[in-house]
Amino acid sequence: MRPLLTIRAGFYAVFRTLSRMYGPAIFISALPPLFSSLLALGGWIISGRVELDKYLYQLLGMSLLVMAQVALSEISWTLKGWIDDGLFDYLAASPAQPLSVFIGVFLAEALVFAGLSLVITAAVVGALKGPLFALSTLAAYALAFIGSLPLIGLGMALASLVLFTKEPGVVAMPIGAAMAVVGGVLYPTSILPPYLRYIAEALPMAAWADAVRGLALGLTLPIKELGALGGYALYILIGVLSFDAAGRVARRRGVA
Amino acid sequence: MRPAESRGAVGLLKEVEREWLRFSRASARLWQRALSGSLSYVLWLMAAILAIAWYGALREGLGRDMFWSFLAFVLYSEPLWAAADARSHLRLGITEQILAARGGLAPTLFPWLFVDSAMWSMMDSSVLFAVFTAIFGPPAAAQPLLLAAALALLYLFSLSMGVIGVYLFLSLENPWIAALLLQLVIPLSGGVVPPYALPESVARFLAYSPFQYVVAPLIYAGVGKWLLPPPFELAVGYAEAGAFAALALLADRIAVEKIKLKPS
């Protein structure tokens, strides 16, 4: 089955339900500007200074964090919904590659839940730094969608646990929160203690955020970070293999 | 004689024991969710604290002190979350049964919120301690005796706020916005960001906040810096917490009369 067709099918399966969730989508889209403003306010209270560069760093980081949460946990929640509704059997029996299906799921979820916040962020960046930066931010988000494949792989690895635990949140929630701590989206990983920096380097999030930020706020094509992201493509393989193995065990046991 | 009055302190302990049994019989799946939620909560808090600290607090060596701020926040907020949770149960129709069995809601609600929030707080603060230790080193209390007094004070205030919160949430269709406001406004005006970490112009206003006397002493005792002399702060704080406990009982009386007139 052609991957693009499968991506489209996964996208459509989720998008037709999500596109009606205007309330939650607007609420989630408002979170990055709201929380980055609160952090800047907290920073002002503590330091007595308003630092625009740090505010933009965190604004951009927050919207990337929403995308990362979608990749890491929404795949699990969607899978749980499919299992509950008895639809997983169709996915298991179809010739479609799960990776393509989940890329479609991610695109739909990210578009609905992060789309508006990406536009708001680009508008704020444009207002504060100039229209060229608004355009570079939009271009950087296009890069973010492509560069999120390792995160989708990680999300698939977590989703494979759902076939056994039936509890998507138990693993996905702490991992998603840990990404906020070591993901380099709210502050540079250089302020972390060394052993947390090692964890940050082992995960794809910080390199992904660096690449997007470099293009959006620095107008530089981040070749080095893109190269690093290539290395993190290993997570795609881990995701595919673990989901495949879990799917086979689940089918044998009759769990799914 | 009303049943609640006949039991006294022993009766209250039995209520706590009964609530503990209800809580401890929760399924393994619920415990998994609780642990995962607790870990996530603390990690999000850590991300927020590091994000704010990036603006300069780390340079001033405030990192480790911030443990006490977060501990105060956790201890204050858990009874309110437990109240929001209890509200869901009460709205399902058990209010009248509790009233018929106990004659009032407060004798049940205090132990209920105490057990639920104590367990969640213990889990949250353990993970908080572990995470802070990993990043900043172990936080040691500067004044342990005062800390114990401040801990009991904050908990009495938080429980009373929890009971008041239950009645407030019961009267609202969607309690989450009210819960979020209570979660933010009282700790922020109560010195959860302590005055010595604030610019002088902002810190001046904190001295006039009544919540400063109940929320902030835990932080002051942990760090060893007080805004006013500790005996004065604690005395005012305990008087205030007592007033809030009385307000909780009054809210209970009013709510019970309302429910008797118009059952849910």
Q: Which of B44, B53, B198 sits opposite A177 (nearest CB)?
A: B44
The stretch B116-131 carries a mean pLDDT of 83
The stretch A37-59 carries a mean pLDDT of 82
pLDDT band at B264 (very low <50, low <70, confident <90, very high): low
pLDDT at position A17 over 80: no
Give the pLDDT confidence score for residue B8 in this predicted structure: 67
3-state secondary structure chain A: CCHHHHHHHHHHHHHHHHCCCHHHHHHHHHHHHHHHHHHHHHHHHHHCCCCHHHHHHHHHHHHHHHHHHHHHHHHHHHHHHHHHCCCHHHHHHCCCCHHHHHHHHHHHHHHHHHHHHHHHHHHHHHHHHCHHHHHHHHHHHHHHHHHCHHHHHHHHHHHHHHHHHCCHHHHHHHHHHHHHHHCCCCCCHHHCCHHHHHHHHHCCHHHHHHHHHHHHHHCCCCHHHHHHHHHCCHHHHHHHHHHHHHHHHHHHHCCC
pLDDT at position B2 over 50: no
pLDDT at position A134 over 90: yes
CB contact under 8 A, A54 and B54: yes
The residue range of the domain holding B19 is 3-261
Measured between beta carbons, which residues in chain A are less than 8 angstroms from residue B62?
46
pLDDT at position B105 over 80: no
Q: Which of B32, B48, B54 sits opposite A191 (nearest CB)?
A: B54
Q: Which of B33, B134, B197 sits opposite A170 (nearest CB)?
A: B33
Query: What's the domain count of chain A?
Result: 1
pLDDT band at B262 (very low <50, low <70, confident <90, very high): low
Give pTM, 2 decimals.
0.71
Give the pLDDT confidence score for residue B221 in this predicted structure: 93
Q: Which of A45, A173, A191 sits opposite B37 (nearest CB)?
A: A173
The stretch A16-36 carries a mean pLDDT of 78
Dump pLDDT digits (tens) for A198-234: 999 999 999 999 999 999 998 887 777 677 777 888 9
Q: Would you say the ipTM is above 0.90? A: no
Give the pLDDT confidence score for residue A3 in this predicted structure: 76
Q: Which residue of A has its CA nearest to B47?
A: A181
Give the pLDDT confidence score for residue A96 in this predicted structure: 77
Cβ of A173 under 8 Å from any chain B Cβ?
yes
**Mean of pLDDT over chain A:** 85
The distance of B64 to chain A (nearest Cα, Å) reads 14
Dump pLDDT digits (tens) for B13-67: 777 777 777 766 666 667 777 788 888 887 887 888 788 778 775 545 566 677 8
Query: What's the domain count of chain B?
Result: 1
Measured between beta carbons, which residues in chain A are less than 8 angstroms from residue B51?
39, 58, 186-187
Integer angstrom CA distances of residue B51 from A44, A46, B68, B131, B180: 12, 12, 17, 15, 21
The stretch A91-113 carries a mean pLDDT of 84
What does DSSP assign to residue B196? Answer: G
The residue range of the domain holding A99 is 3-253
pLDDT band at A150 (very low <50, low <70, confident <90, very high): very high
**Count of Cβ atoms closer than 10 Å to residue B149 Cβ:** 18
The stretch A142-161 carries a mean pLDDT of 90
Where is pLDDT greater, at B174 or A207? A207
pLDDT at position B7 over 70: no
The stretch B109-127 carries a mean pLDDT of 83
Give the pLDDT confidence score for residue B237 in this predicted structure: 94
pLDDT at position B1 over 50: no
